[in-house]
Chain A
Amino acid sequence: MSNVLAAETAAAPAAQTLSRGGSHKRNKRSTSVALAMLAPAAVLMVVFLIIPIFLTFGLAFTNARLISPVPARFIGFDNFVRLFGNDTFWRSLLNTVVFTIVIVPVQSGLALGLALLVNAKIRGTNFFRTVYFLPVVTSIVVVSMLWLFMYQPDGLINALLAKIGITGPDWLGDPNTALFAIIVLSIWQAVGFHMVIWLSGLQTIPGELYEAASIDGAGTWQQFVHVTWPGLRQTSIFILITITIAAFSLFSQVNIMTQGGPLNSTSTLVYMAVHSGFEQQQTGYAAAISLVFFALVLAVSLVQRYLTRDKESSR
């Protein structure tokens, strides 16, 4: 390694002439090596990612079942007709959208607050960052079980509320509070992740900007508005997109804590897709639900495209 490094400067011109001289031969060989190195990942991605994406579109228009002796048959829009006539679907879509609309601003806002709180390089900062990040490395399955207990009618949260004289509801058993309860634990689990991403964004802002702003007499809030926030634009787009797509994918919490209940008040698109496609083995119907999900994701990525283009043109 080290002798390669040492040879680097001396050999560079020689390498250039060499590659110019035998470029045709070398390129041909290079291409085959490149394809060989690319092949394992390429094959795996085609088989387990690209084909399933196309399958989602194909299967949605068939009556395919997970295990069936008869081959799947093309049935046109029947799955969609059935889906759009199903109240559970609309409720699941609504829940997914409500969950996302609440989670996106609240979680990204809290994460930014945490990031600002632990951005200063003073003693103990590392400790606080570590503690806030602990739920992120805890599996959502474990977190859901833990909060399932905390949300019991006689569980930890109601015991704490009783201390201050409030009689807490049956959080997960009441259709009015169940989705809210799931939102709270989801934020608790994931907010540390986005705190770290905000932090890495904050560190890209040059300190001189703050010095210049404070010389100009800008207060803390003005500094935030005129220096910090504009400097976080890239980061904020990334965070919005990742939180949105993660929120669309809500499944584990629901499956463990409420099974979509009570009265479908916590059912989501992914939960419904798993219920139809796995438990009821109706792959075609589940593919139709997945396609709706896919359309949501696509819409979000188009918004991202628009936002990033906007940034480039304004420069």
Chain B
Amino acid sequence: MSTVTSDHLGHVADTVRPESHTAGERRAWLRPTLVMILRIALCFVFGLPLIFMIVSSFKPDTQIFGDLDSWAAFLPVGSLSMDNYTGVFGRVPFATFMINSVFISISTVVLGLLVNSMAAFALSRIEFRGQKVVIGIVLATLIVPFETMALPLLWWVNTIPYFDGSQGWLDTYAVQIIPFLANAFSIYLFYQYFDSIPKELDEAATVDGAGWFRIYRSIVMPLSGPAIATVAILTFLPAWNSYLWPLMVVQSEELRPVMVGIDYFKQMGSGAGVSWGQIMAYASMITVPVLALFVAFQKAFINSVASSGVKG
């Protein structure tokens, strides 16, 4: 917008004050150029560390450090190999971590979509007593960050009975999924979107003999593609990136997600013999799939973030 308006402005200035013609013209040429230089420079700032990560994952440690003082640090040059990757697989059960993260993330997204959209449907389209109170409570919890109650929650899930009657939920898949299914923000996003779908549709469907659940499944949800995409993305990213919670609730290696797996490399990071190449290989393997998803569904990702800012 800034460049567009400055072009407008250039026009106006030219017609109103002919004497500043050359100055205005030079400005009109200078500004877009500066903007473009700045844009490209920022590309390096945001892109280079990630390129460095991926490129270094193919280099032996000696070369990673050797390349640091030149552009070679960001280029796939020198002796490249998959050694770091085979090293990672030799050091940690990477496939297990990956399967765990995929399972936990997908379960959280799918079940979360179901639970939150149903709740939002009830709040948005069915009139019942106490509705306003429920909406108020949902909105009030929006502001509470997970971190404020993470420690009491840890104590709580270690105290309550599990499904089989034994005490405590620690060290299960369930404790990594179920506490994150109901989400005030997801309910809020669905609620807003459902409110924009004409209510006359419900009445027409009722005349046709459809019940509320049928209206939810066959009318409202099929019309809510954008909201579903937004909630899915905003649920997937924190589930995939989850770190603090699994760090505390999972002890068994076979239940561990990818982000906690990186701690295996951190622990040896303080001592000698740290393999930065392996760390970069591990980091690349858990990052590149998400970056690929982002590039493929760019518009949906950006829209989901943008719509999270619409609340007011």
Q: Chain A: residues with CB nearer than 8 A to chain B?
A: 1, 4-5, 7-8, 11-12, 14-16, 18-19, 27, 30-31, 33-35, 37-38, 40-42, 44-45, 47-53, 55-56, 59, 64, 66-67, 114, 116-122, 124, 126, 128-142, 145-150, 154-156, 159, 162-163, 188, 192-193, 196-197, 199-202, 210-211, 214-215, 217, 219-220, 223, 228, 234-235, 237-239, 241, 245-246, 248-249, 251-252, 255-256, 270, 273-274, 277-278, 283, 286-287, 289-290, 293-294, 297, 300-301, 304, 308
CB pair B243 A133 closer than 8 Å: no
What does the 1/0 interface line of B276-299 toward A look like (CB < 8 Å)? 100110010011001101110010
Inter-subunit contact B149/A145 (CB<8 Å) = no
Could you list 8 A-B pairs, sorted by A, with CB under 8 Å? A12-B203, A44-B115, A52-B156, A66-B158, A131-B43, A142-B283, A193-B305, A294-B148
A210 near B5 (CB under 8 angstroms)?
yes
Known contacts A8-B200, A117-B2, A200-B309, A138 near B148 by CB under 8 Å: no
Taking a contact as CB atoms closer than 8 A, the residue among B5, B222, B279 that contacts A149 in the complex is B279
Closest to A155 in B: B68
CB contacts (< 8 Å) of A192 on chain B: these are: 46
* 8 Å CB contact of A51 from B35, B156, B219, B312: B156
Q: Is the CB of B141 within 8 A of A49?
A: yes
Contacts of A49 in B (CB 8 A): 141, 144, 149, 182, 184
B248 interfacial by beta-carbon distance below 8 Å: yes
B310–chain A nearest beta-carbon distance, Å: 7
Q: Is chain A's interface secondary structure helix, strand, loop, or mixed overall?
A: helix
In the complex, chain A residues whose CB is within 8 Å of the CB of B312: 234, 237-238, 308
Nearest CB on B from A212, distance (A) = 11
Contact B306 A196 (CB under 8 A): yes
Are B148 and A202 within 8 A (Cβ)?
A: no
Question: Is the Cβ of A145 less than 8 Å from the Cβ of B262?
Answer: yes
B189 proximal to A (CB < 8 A): no
Q: Are the CB atoms of B128 and A245 closer together than 8 Å?
A: no
The interface centre, meaning the residue of A15, A219, A235 with most chain B CB atoms within 10 A of its CB, is A15
B277 CB to closest chain A CB (Å) equals 10
Partner of B42, one of A5, A132, A274: A132
Inter-chain contact A238/B311, CB cutoff 8 Å: yes
From A8, A35, A196, B302 is in contact (CB under 8 Å) with: A196
Given contacts A52-B156, A119-B1, A134-B294, whether A4 and B49 have CB atoms under 8 Å apart is no
A289 to B149, CA, bound (A): 10
Write the nearest CB–CB distance from A16 to chain B, whole angstroms. Answer: 7
Neighbour of A274 across the interface among B43, B150, B294, B308, CB < 8 A = B150
* CB <8 Å contact, A197 and B38: no
Taking a contact as CB atoms closer than 8 A, the residue among A124, A131, A211 that contacts B46 in the complex is: A131
Given contacts A116-B1, A119-B1, A142-B286, contact A162 B69 (CB under 8 A): yes
Given contacts A12-B204, A131-B43, contact A141 B259 (CB under 8 A): yes
Query: In the complex, which residues of chain B have a beta carbon less than 8 angstroms from the beta carbon of A122?
Result: 3, 32
Question: In this complex, what residue of B is CB-closest to A250?
Answer: B147
**From A308, which residue of chain B is reached at the shortest CB distance?**
B312
